Amino acid sequence: MVDIWLPYGESDVCVRVPARNFLGTIEPKKAAGVSDPEAELKRALKEPIGSKRLNEIAKAGQKIAIVVDDATRDAPSELMLLPVLAELNSVGVNDEDITIIFGCGTHRSVTPEEEIKLLGNEVISRIKTISHNCRSEDLVYIGKTKTYGTKVKVNHIFAEADLKILLGDVGFHYYAGYGGGRKSVMPAISCSETIQHNHAMLLNSKARTGILEGNPVHEDMTEAAKLSKVDFIVNVVTNSQGKLVKAFAGDMEKAFYEAKKLVDELYRVTVDRRADIVVVSAGGHPGDINLYQAYKGLDNALEVVKRNGTIILVAECPEGHGNQVFYEWMMRYGELKKVEREIKRHFVMGGHKAYYLLKAQKNHTIILVSSLPDYYTSDVFKLKTARAINDAFKEALKISGTSSKVWVLPLGNHTLPSVRIQN
C-alpha cells in the first residue's frame, strides 16, 4: 500500500492506494521560498517592471485605494501591504488618506476576524478597510469595453482615488486563465452586472485554465481594468507550501505577465497517461471553504482522468455550497443543456458553477468527501458521497474496476496537469 496525505480543511487525511494501482502524485515543482520575504517585496518595489517606482508616483495629500484579496484567497496580503505602506509613507502619504478594499467580487463581506487574519493587527489599527459590495448603489460607471461591450461599474472609493494599487497573487484560474493582475478590478471590485456580462463568456472554448491568448474573459477583464486606470500592482507567486518565491511590481500588465511565466514553470505538470481514478484535494483551507471554491480542483483533475473515469474530490466545505445561485440553478435546471441555454439567455454569476459541475458529471463519476450532508450533496448537486476518503476509494474501485490506475493530486486547485500522450 502507498499512503498519500491530502489537505482537508485545516488538517490532512490519508488515502491508501495499492502499489499496483498507483501511478503517482501530480504535484507542483518544488521551489524554495525566499529566506527574507520582506526583503523580496522591497526588491520588487525598487525594481518595478514597466513603471516608475511607487514612491515616484505617489504624492502627499493623495487619496489612495489599495485592493487586496478576500477570505476565499490565500494571498499573503499583510506581507505585501507593509512594504507598500512604508513606501507611501516615505513620500509623505498619511495613513488617513489610504483605504484598503477587500475585493470580494460576488462573495460575502470579510468578517472582522478574517480581516485580522488577512492583514494583521498593525495594518487594521492603522488603515481604514472596507469590503466591496457588488450590489451597492455607490458604484461608479467608468465606461464600456470596446471589444465585448461590457458596461463597467466599479467601487466608488477606488474610482475616485488619486492613486490606485492592486495587490494579489498569481495562479491558475479555470476560465480567466490565471488569477492576479486585472482580476483585482474585474471581478474583485466590479458590480454584479459587469461581472455577469464578463463571466457569461466562459462558454467560449478559449476560456480555460492557463490560456490567455484569445480568451475573451481575460481580454475583457484586462480592458475593464485599463478603464479603471490602475497605477501600480504588486503580485506574488508562492510555492505549494504558501511561501513566497518571487514578487513582481509595477505596470498592471507587464508585471502580471512576468508572474504568469513563473506560475507556468512551477505549476504546469506533464504526465504520460490518463488514469481511471483521480483522487484530488482542493488544497485544504481556504481552497475547500465551500463547494463553489473547491470545484477548481475538480476542474484540473479532469485533465488527467479517462472518459467515464472516476474522480474523488476531497474538500471539507465547512461553509456549505458557497453560492446561492449555484444552489438554485442545480435545483431548478439540473441538466447541462438547460443550464447552457440559461447562460446564453440570462447569465447570473454562480450559474457558471452549475454548468461546470454538470459538464464534469456528463462523462465522469464524482465522489465527494466532505462535511456536507449526504442527502443535500446527492439530491441537489448530484454527487456520490463518502464520509471517509478510503470509503470513497473503495467505491471508486467498484465503479472503475479493481485494476484501475490512479493519480493523486494533493493540491488540485493550484496544479495544472496535462497528458503528453493520450490513451
As annotated, the active-site residues are: 107, 173
CA quadruple 39, 45, 47, 51: dihedral, nearest 10: 170
R_g (Cα) of the chain, nearest Å: 21
In 3D, which of 109, 89, 230, 112 has the Cα closest to residue 167?
230
68, 124 in Cβ contact below 8 A? Answer: no
Within 168-215, residue ranges assigned H as helices are 192-199
181, 170 in Cβ contact below 8 A? Answer: yes
245, 266 in Cβ contact below 8 A? Answer: yes
In 3D, which of 324, 322, 317, 298 has the Cα closest to residue 371?
317
57: which residues sit within 8 A by CB, 6+ positions away? 51, 163, 231, 232
Q: Which residues pair with residue 177 across a beta bridge?
A: 173
For residue 163, what is its C-alpha cell?
492613486
For residue 347, what is its C-alpha cell?
447569465
DSSP per position, 257-323: HHHHHHHHHHHEEEES--EEEEEEE--STTTTSSHHHHHHHHHHHGGGEEEEEEEEEE---TTTTS-
For residue 305, what is its C-alpha cell?
482522468
CA 91, 96, 97, 103 dihedral sign is positive
Distance CA 223, CA 214 (A): 14
Phi, psi of 179 (to 5 degrees): -85, 175
